[in-house]
Chains A and B, each alone.
Chain A
Amino acid sequence: MNELEHPTGDPYGAKDGKDLISGITVFPMEPHVPRKADIDPKAAIRAERQVATMFGLSSLMIILFIVAYIQVPADLLITIPVIGTLNANHLAIGFTFGMAILLIGLGAIHWAKKLMPDEEVIQERHALTSSNEERAAVQSSLQRGAAESGFKERKIIRRSLLGALALFPVPLIVLLRDLGPLPGTRLRETIWDEGIHLVTDATYKKIKASDIPLGGLINAVPENLLEIEHEEHNLNQRGKASIIIVRMDPADIVSQQGEAWDYQGVLAFSKICTHLGCPTSLYQQRTHHLLCPCHQSTFDLSDSGNVVFGPAARRMPQLAITVDAEGYLVAQSGFNEPVGPSFWERG
Chain B
Amino acid sequence: MALSKRHPAALFAVLAVALGTTGAAYAAVSAQTAPKVVAKTETQVEQGKQLFLEGCSSCHGLAAQGASDGPSLLGVGAASVDFQVGTGRMPLAAPGVQAMPKMPSYNEEETAALAAYIATLGAGPGIPTAEMLDTTNAELALGGELFRTNCAQCHGASAVGGALSEGRKAPSLMDADAKNLYEAMVTGPQSMPVFADSTLSVEDKQHIIAYVAELQKNESPGGFSLGRLGPVTEGLFIFTIGLGVLIVAAVWIGAKAK
Partner-B contacts on A (CB < 8 A): 35-37, 77, 80, 82-87, 90-91, 109, 113-114, 118, 200-203, 207-208, 211-219, 246, 279, 281-287, 289, 291, 293, 296, 298, 309
Contact = CB atoms under 8 A, between A and B. Distances in A.
B225 interface: yes
Given A85-B223, A215-B194, A291 B149 contact: no
A289 B223 CA distance: 37
Given A84-B224, A285-B191, 9 more contacts: A35-B257, A77-B219, A86-B221, A118-B257, A201-B149, A207-B199, A217-B193, A218-B200, A285-B194
A281 B153 contact: yes
B146 A203 contact: yes
Contacts of B164: 282, 284, 291
Nearest to A207: B199
Given A80-B223, A86-B220, A282 B199 contact: no
A289 B165 contact: yes
Contacts of A203: 146, 204
Contacts, number: 105
Contact of A285 (B188, B198, B224, B258): B188
A211 B164 CA distance: 27
Contact of A309 (B165, B190, B195, B198): B165
Interface in B165-218: 165, 168, 170, 188, 190-196, 198-200, 204
Interface residues of B, number: 37
B196 A279 contact: no
Interface string B238-255: 000000000000001101
Contacts of B255: 113
A323 to B, nearest CB: 15
B154 interface: yes
A287 B224 CA distance: 37
16 contacts: A36-B258, A37-B257, A85-B220, A86-B220, A200-B199, A202-B149, A203-B204, A213-B199, A216-B196, A217-B193, A218-B200, A219-B150, A284-B165, A285-B188, A287-B165, A289-B165
A235 B190 CA distance: 34
Nearest to A118: B257
Given A84-B225, A85-B219, A86-B222, A216 B253 contact: no
A37 B195 CA distance: 76
A37 B149 CA distance: 68
Contact of A217 (B145, B195, B198, B219): B195
Q: Identify whether the interface residues of A are mostly helix, strand, loop, or mixed.
A: mixed
A207 B198 CA distance: 9
Interface of B: 142, 145-146, 149-150, 153-154, 162, 164-165, 168, 170, 188, 190-196, 198-200, 204, 219-225, 252-253, 255-258
A311 to B, nearest CB: 14
B135 to A, nearest CB: 17
Contacts of A80: 223
Q: Which of A80, A114, A287 has the most CB of B within 10 A?
A: A287
Given A90-B221, A203-B146, A287-B191, A211 B165 contact: no
B223 A84 contact: yes
Nearest to B253: A109
Given A118-B257, A282-B164, A285-B193, A218 B221 contact: no
Contacts of A83: 223-224
Contacts of A284: 164-165, 168, 191, 193
A216 B193 CA distance: 5
B222 A113 contact: no
Given A87-B221, A203-B204, A284-B165, A211 B149 contact: no
A72 to B, nearest CB: 14
B239 to A, nearest CB: 20
A213 B222 contact: no
Given A87-B221, A284-B165, A298-B165, A219 B199 contact: no
A118 B195 CA distance: 74
A55 B24 CA distance: 62
Given A216-B188, A286-B190, A113 B257 contact: yes
A215 B165 CA distance: 17
Contacts of B165: 284, 287, 289, 291, 296, 298, 309
Contact of B188 (A109, A114, A215): A215
Nearest to A296: B165
B194 A214 contact: yes
Top 6 closest pairs, chain A to chain B, by CB: A217-B193, A211-B198, A86-B223, A284-B191, A113-B257, A213-B196
A212 B199 contact: yes
B257 A114 contact: yes
A218 B146 contact: no
Contacts of A114: 257
